[in-house]
């Protein structure tokens, strides 16, 4: 069972770093099958923080719903289209299967061969029993399947429609019968009846199989050589020889090519619905080139889902990776408001009003007495100082300060230096278009039936703000119009001075309510305001309440 530790959509530094550090903690406390993931793109700052401490960004998951590939059997037992049905039957019997997929020489799936279809072939209905003498196979396949030895001539691999003729009649009856046969296609199966053997050779039949391991008279062998008739010696009696010869037909001859195949990425619940009414015994799983990479049986739906989740830095399913609701959530570590869905089982739910989820992870290490490796301390610092703007945000607690000091000792990195380095990388105003800067960290809210969005970007200085502000306002207006919001806001924060500019586009009646100093139309100066969730959001929802 794999445990995936994953943060919220539109991940920030805390979501990524807490997932990775908690995965390290889990491994150190004896849970090896743990993996950290993300469900959105990282940005330059996150990449910088990870790289600085020797990590690379965790695996990307667009959706964690169980998929066909999670439960399919990838060690597939197949039949080759050019192998005798006899060999396929042996494998079906050995494994107690109801049939096999049939592949070509490039592993492409051609169809399915079922034991039902084979049985129908070997035991045809009475009205079709005549056809049962025909075997569409090469002589070599027939020889091998019977286990016969060459007595005269050698067989080839050309596939022909052969007709098996058992001679159990008097010579004069056989003489009449012989006239009606096409000698090129005829394989006689006969015991040590020399007259019959001679008649067959003289008529120029393609092959004679001598049953019962009885061999052939040297004179007749010589005659056969002259006439070009192949003579094979079967170790079995006539009845067995016939049965074996018939099962020399190629698997490809008997396949149903009208079959349902699956793709490895198909979600299991979709596959379940698609296959519910099908009587097919198994479903080949094919890659984009039609190559067989696995097989799914209906019983595979009963297998337990091989993955469970630990959510970090969020607890609401609306913010979680797609498909999270379909997997067991076994733990949640968070520092936001509680909006978690009910769970089936009791779970570990650590929600603490501290500055970052990374603080909670650092605390887990301390409580368990597990030493924090210096690189892990480094990424924990990244998440902590990025969420608290280096311990200056009003969300910061005494616990955060104490932990930051401890982490700094372990990593040997000064928090202020690290914060400066992180925030100096990838300034949104310098590295993004105005549109990107507005949507990169945009959260949408609904209050009293009114929908609005608040974005935030963090800068080291307002030096690039003036040149960008007009475009930012335009981008805000575009988002507002596109999503039909009552207003869109962007908080541009200078993490050095702890001040912000607020840009808002929306209805005149709303804008008039904002009572911070307005530096120009649509832009306000918010000194000392840095936290979207703790400072700005309550202010804005308060204003909304004043609207008629």
Q: Binding residues for Mn ion, per CB under 5 A? A: 14, 313, 357, 387
How many separate helices (H) and strands (E) can be counted in the chain? 20, 23
Nearer to Mn ion, 357 or 493 (CB): 357
Cβ 7 to Mn ion shortest distance, Å = 8
- How many Cα neighbours within 13 Å face the side chain of 526? 25
Which residues fall within 8 angstroms of residue 252, CB to CB, at 6 or more apart? 81, 82, 102, 110
Nearer to Mn ion, 229 or 395 (CB): 395
CA-closest candidate to residue 251, choices 120, 105, 79:
79
State the Cα–Cα distance between residues 429 and 47, nearest whole angstrom.
18
Nearer to Mn ion, 364 or 544 (CB): 364
How distant, in Å, are the alpha carbons of 33, 283, 290, 459 from that of 308? Answer: 11, 26, 31, 37
Question: 151-155, long-range: CB within 8 Å, 24+ apart, which pairs?
Answer: 151/210, 151/215, 151/216, 151/221, 151/231, 151/232, 151/233, 152/216, 152/221, 152/224, 152/225, 152/229, 152/230, 152/231, 153/224, 153/225, 153/228, 153/229, 153/230, 153/231, 154/230, 155/207, 155/230, 155/232
Cβ 313 to Mn ion shortest distance, Å = 4
Which residues fall within 8 angstroms of residue 350, CB to CB, at 6 or more apart? 331, 332, 333, 334, 360, 364
CB-based contact 316:340 (threshold 8 Å): yes
Nearer to Mn ion, 284 or 378 (CB): 378
Nearer to Mn ion, 300 or 363 (CB): 363
Cβ 109 to Mn ion shortest distance, Å = 47
Residue whose beta carbon is closest to Mn ion:
14
Cβ 13 to Mn ion shortest distance, Å = 8
State the Cα–Cα distance between residues 280 and 522, nearest whole angstrom.
65
Nearer to Mn ion, 14 or 459 (CB): 14
Nearer to Mn ion, 14 or 458 (CB): 14
Nearer to Mn ion, 152 or 324 (CB): 324
Element at 508 (helix H, strand E): helix 508-511
Nearer to Mn ion, 388 or 434 (CB): 388
Question: 53-62, long-range: CB within 8 Å, 24+ apart, which pairs?
Answer: 53/374, 53/375, 53/376, 53/378, 53/379, 53/382, 53/411, 54/375, 55/20, 55/375, 55/379, 57/16, 58/16, 58/19, 58/20, 58/23, 59/35, 61/4, 61/6, 61/37, 61/321, 62/322
State the Cα–Cα distance between residues 376 and 308, nearest whole angstrom.
23
Cβ 538 to Mn ion shortest distance, Å = 18
Cβ 432 to Mn ion shortest distance, Å = 21
Cβ 322 to Mn ion shortest distance, Å = 20
Cβ 309 to Mn ion shortest distance, Å = 17
CA-closest candidate to residue 477, choices 490, 458, 491:
490
Nearer to Mn ion, 300 or 387 (CB): 387
Nearer to Mn ion, 224 or 358 (CB): 358
**Token pair for 428:** 């949104």
Residue 187 backbone dihedrals phi, psi, to 5 degrees: -120, 115
Nearer to Mn ion, 333 or 476 (CB): 333
Residues in the chain: 548
């Amino acid at each position: 069972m794999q445990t995936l530790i994953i943060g919220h959509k539109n991940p920030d530094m805390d979501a990524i770093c807490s997932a990775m550090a908690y995965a390290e903690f889990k491994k150190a406390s004896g849970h090896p099958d743990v993996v950290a993931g993300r469900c959105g793109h990282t940005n330059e700052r996150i990449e910088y923080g990870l790289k600085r401490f020797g990590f690379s960004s965790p695996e990307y998951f667009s959706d964690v719903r169980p998929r066909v590939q999670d439960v399919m059997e990838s060690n597939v037992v197949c039949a080759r289209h050019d192998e005798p049905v006899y060999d396929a039957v042996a494998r079906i019997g050995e494994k107690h299967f109801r049939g096999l997929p049939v592949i070509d020489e490039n592993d492409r799936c051609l169809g399915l061969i079922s034991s039902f279809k084979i049985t129908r072939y070997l035991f045809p209905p009475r009205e079709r029993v005549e056809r049962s003498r025909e075997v569409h196979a090469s002589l070599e396949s027939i020889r091998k399947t019977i286990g016969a030895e060459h007595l005269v001539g050698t067989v080839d691999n050309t596939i022909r429609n052969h007709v098996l003729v058992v001679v159990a009649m008097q010579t004069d009856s056989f003489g009449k019968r012989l006239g009606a046969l096409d000698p090129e296609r005829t394989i006689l199966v006969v015991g040590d009846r020399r007259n019959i053997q001679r008649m067959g050779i003289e008529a120029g039949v393609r092959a004679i199989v001598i049953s019962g391991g009885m061999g052939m008279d040297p004179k007749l062998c010589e005659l056969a050589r002259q006439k070009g008739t192949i003579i094979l010696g079967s170790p079995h009696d006539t009845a067995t020889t016939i049965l074996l010869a018939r099962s020399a037909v190629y698997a490809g001859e008997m396949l149903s090519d009208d079959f349902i195949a699956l793709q490895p990425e198909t979600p299991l619940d979709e596959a379940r619905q698609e296959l519910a009414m099908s009587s097919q015994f198994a479903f080949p799983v094919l890659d984009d080139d039609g190559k067989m990479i696995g097989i799914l049986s209906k019983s595979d739906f009963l297998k337990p889902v091989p993955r469970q989740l630990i959510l970090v830095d969020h607890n609401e399913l609306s913010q979680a990776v797609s498909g999270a609701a379909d997997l067991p959530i076994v733990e949640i570590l968070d520092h936001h408001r509680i909006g978690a869905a009910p769970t089936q089982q009791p779970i570990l739910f650590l929600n603490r009003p501290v500055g970052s989820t990374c603080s909670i992870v650092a605390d887990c290490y301390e409580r368990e007495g597990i030493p924090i490796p210096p690189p892990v301390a480094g990424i924990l610092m990244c998440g902590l100082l990025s969420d608290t703007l280096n311990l200056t945000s009003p969300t910061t607690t005494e616990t955060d300060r104490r932990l930051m000091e401890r982490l700094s000792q372990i990593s040997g990195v000064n928090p202020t230096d690290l914060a400066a380095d992180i925030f100096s990388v990838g300034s949104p105003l310098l590295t993004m278009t105005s549109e990107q800067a507005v949507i990169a960290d945009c959260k949408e809210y609904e209050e009293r039936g009114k929908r609005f969005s608040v974005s935030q970007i963090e800068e080291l200085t307002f030096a690039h703000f003036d040149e960008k502000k007009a475009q930012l306002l335009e981008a805000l207006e575009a988002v507002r119009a596109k999503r039909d919001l009552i207003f869109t806001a962007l908080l541009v924060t200078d993490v050095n001075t702890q001040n912000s500019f607020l840009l808002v586009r929306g209805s005149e009646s709303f804008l008039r309510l904002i009572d911070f100093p307005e530096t120009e139309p649509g832009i306000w100066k918010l000194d000392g305001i840095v936290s979207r969730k703790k400072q700005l959001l309550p202010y804005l929802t308060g204003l909304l309440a004043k609207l008629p």
